[in-house]
Amino acid sequence: MALMQYSEAGFFAPRKIAEILRTTSEEVARTAGLGKDAVQRRERVHSDKTQRRLREMMEVVNKVEPRFGSALMAYAWYRSEPLPGFSGQTAMQLVKAGRADDVLEYIDAVDAGVHA
C-alpha cells in the first residue's frame, strides 16, 4: 500500500496508522520510539522528530507488506522478528535506535537474494 494512506493533510497521522494496524495511537508511538505526548498533542504530532519516526516505521512496514500479505502481519513482523546480523534485534528496536536505514538496506539485500 502507498504511504499516503497513513497520512492526513501532508503529515503522518498516528490515528490513521493505528486504525489500519488495529492498535492504539499510544502503541504506535511506543513502537516508533516516541512518548505518548508525541501522538496526542497536535504540535508534537507535526514536529520533525515525530514525523521522521512515524515515516521510518511505516516505510519498513510498507516495504515488507507484500511479502506478508497485509499491513497487520508486516507490523507484527516489525515488532517481533529478530533480524539476523543485528544481534537478535527486531526492526522495531533498530528503528527506535535510529537505524531505520540499516533495516531498509537489510530488506533490500534479502529481496536481492543476499542473506545476512
The per-residue pLDDT for range 50-60, each reduced to its tens digit, is 999 999 999 99
Kindly give, in sequence order, each residue whose CB lies less than 8 Å from that of residue 111, ignoring residues fewer than 6 positions away: none
Structure confidence by residue, pLDDT tens digits, 82-100 = 999 899 999 999 999 999 9
| Domain assignments of the chain as residue spans, ordered by start | 3-111
Q: Report helix, strand or coil for 8.
A: strand
22-77 pLDDT per residue, tens: 999 999 999 999 998 888 888 889 999 999 999 999 999 999 999 999 999 999 99
Residue where the block lists cell 511506543: 30
pTM: 0.89
